[in-house]
Structure 1
Amino acid sequence: MNDLTDAGFAALTAKISRDRGFGCASYKDKCLRRRIAVRMRARGVHTYADYAQVLDQDQAEYDRLLDALTINVTKLFRNWETYNAIAEKVVPALWAQPTTTINVWSAGCSSGEEPYSLAALFHRHAAQVGAAAEADRRVKVLGSDIDARCLAAAAVGSFEEGDFADTPSDLRRRYFAPTPPFTVVPEVKRLVRFERRDLLAEAAPPGAHQLICCRNVMIYFDRETQERLFDKFHQALAPGGFLVLGKVETLLGTARTRFAVVDGRERIFRPL
């Protein structure tokens, strides 16, 4: 008989949190159950208890499970409409501010597509206003993620053909190599750095941020965790900064009174 009871699930997720420090309690149960089930089927086990034994015996399976739990489908310039709105409403406004540095935080950056896409938009704008040389000095894009292997891939800055499905041809020609492995150009790569950071358990990166992008990450968390993250982002944003969420994400609770809508369709907000 298959034992997929709530008690069995609770025991397994408690074990994962205890063994690997992964905050299962902050994720939606439905999301966790679905992704754990994928790995259970792959290993041919039918109960949470049996899968716990597999994890004890095979550390590589633990790594594959954590990959499954944290994976985000991502592409360069994913949902171009959002990036176009950022290019029109966010980038010029931030460039015009008198701040010495424009700090950008891509929270939950996976394998680096979002940080590089944002950096390319800033570099393009700087070039358009005749200040390309200033981009190196002013624009600092940080991509953070909990998955060290994703970050290692991000630091390489190379992409596959499928990663460009949403990328406008002019941006692809200007900012990426024309032949495989389609590496990002040095002018953009210099603007980006990566670090491992647990979005739930650790503080925001130090300093005030002019732009925070956390797209298609919040949907995996329960409401309480989302509200805590909105508070974290509000505190981390500089006055006049911007917050960008994913298309299916929205402000919750007190965050609705702490952010103003810049573009409701593309989920762009400013702190009040």
Structure 2
Amino acid sequence: MSDGFPPPFPPFPPFSLQMEGDDEELENLKRKIEQDRGFNCQFYKEKCLRRRIAVRMRARGQRTFQDYGALLDRDPAEYDHLLDTLTINVTKFFRNLETWNAVEQHVLPTLFEGRAPIKVWSAGSASGEEAYTASIVMREWLRREGRLGEAGRIRITGTDIDRRSLDAARVGEYPDLSMTETPGHIRGAWFTGGPPWTVRPEARPGVEFERRDLISGEPLTGQNLIFCRNVVIYFDRQIQEQLFKQFYDSLVPGGFLVMGKVETLIGEARLLFRPVNNRERIFRRPPA
């Protein structure tokens, strides 16, 4: 998941999309989406959810939630476009490079102190750019430290609810748009082709992808580092607090959480985590 919204669609003949007084129709559509595709809309902020569904309604010329639900019955392929819009599967390699520099400086030296496998969770990984970036950053750090032989300790799991994005992540081929924040020397060392740019085999060992619902799915456990950037902001406050507590429980003592720059810890999480780098939103579960 990303911190932006999809680009606007081409102009469509104007019409007024009713945004008030249609709560029952929206609830029916949310239940339908969950029943048909297993995607739980109930915990999204309502304004955000309405805005995203409206993108697809305008694209298909549907004026009410009820009409759009009927369209989904007639054209099930529309679900793929809808879920892409709801999950905002747009991201980049090395997004916010300064955050990755801070991870190298403040996190990796601690992670590699021992000899055990290092488990990393990229939560809401979309098409996999973040998970592969983590792999590259860790291997680059090990190379500079003269410890590249320890790369076999790396275990990175990218999770998302969107199957199509996960399939793309496993293929590992990306357009130019995914590479716009990638330093030139990294592009030359870790990718082939262009475009599409293909992740080199050297970055893939220990990286896997699986479908997982952050809200209702079973969390990963025993993690040393969790990336969840600009994902929780789309959920209501109760779910945000639930997710932060889940991440705390998923981390081993001394493990790290990296959030998006527009996010902040709320509720109990403010007392559970310790700041490592507030500017780059890096926090730590205190060591035992």
TM-score (norm. length: structure 2)? 0.89
Q: Secondary structure at the match of 1:253?
A: coil
Distance in 2 (CA, whole Å) between partners of 1:204 and 1:247 is: 23
Find out whether 1:194 has 2:209 as its counterpart: yes
Q: Please name the residue that 2:137 is paired with.
A: 121
Q: In the superposition, relative to structure 1, how do residues 156 and 2 fare at CA in structure 2: closer, same or farther (>3 Å)?
A: closer
Match of 2:119 among 94, 103, 128: 103
Contact 1:142 1:192 (8 Å CA) reproduced: yes
Of residues 35, 38, 44, the one that matches 2:52 is: 35
Aligned residue number for residue 67 of structure 2: 50
Shift in CA distance, 107/235, structure 1 to aligned 2, threshold 3 Å: same
CA distance in 2, matches of 1:220, 1:99: 37
Q: How many residues align?
A: 269
1:242 aligned residue? 256
Match of 1:208 in 2: 222
Note the aligned Cα RMSD (angstroms). 1.5
Does 1:145 pair with 2:128? no
Q: Can you list the C-alpha shifts for 1:178-207, whole angstroms capped at 9, x where unaligned? A: 5432211211111311111111111112x4
- Answer yes or no: is 1:83 the counterpart of 2:97: no
The one-character-per-residue Cα deviations of 1:37-68 (angstroms, maximum 9, x if unpaired) are 01111111111111111111111112221111
1:175 matched to 2:190: yes
Counterpart pick for 1:134 among 138, 141, 150: 150
Percent of residue pairs bearing the same amino acid type = 51
CA distance in 1, matches of 2:46, 2:52: 10
Q: Which moved more, 1:32-41 or 1:58-67?
A: 58-67
Measured after TM superposition, the shift of residue 3 of structure 1 is 5.0
Structure 2 unmatched runs, 5+: 1-15
Is 1:233 the equivalent of 2:247?
A: yes
Q: Which runs of 4+ in 1 moved over 6 A?
A: none
Say whether the 8 Å CA contact 1:76–1:117 is kept in structure 2: yes
Deviation of 1:99 (Å): 4.0
Q: What is the Cα deviation at residue 20 of structure 1?
A: 2.1
**Alignment match, 2:10:** none
Q: Displacement of 1:124 after TM fit?
A: 0.7
- Aligned-partner residue type, residue 276 of structure 2: V
CA distance in 1, matches of 2:50, 2:194: 40
Q: 108-117 or 180-189: which moved more?
A: 180-189
Aligned in 2, Cα 1:133/1:17: closer, same or farther, shift over 3 Å? same
Partner of 1:160: 175
Structure with a larger share of its residues in helix: 1
Length-normalised TM-score, structure 1: 0.94
Q: CA separation in 2, counterparts of 1:132 and 1:223?
A: 42
| 1:258 aligns to 2:269 (yes or no) | no
Structure 1 unaligned residues grouped into runs of 5+ = none
Specify the code of the residue in structure 1 equivalent to 2:149.
A
Give the Cα separation in 2 of the matches to 1:130 and 1:28.
Answer: 47
- The match for 1:19 is 36
- Structure 1 position 219, deviation (Å): 1.2
Deviation digits for residues 104-153 of structure 1 (CA, Å, limit 9, x no counterpart): 00001000000000000110111112121220x20111101111110111
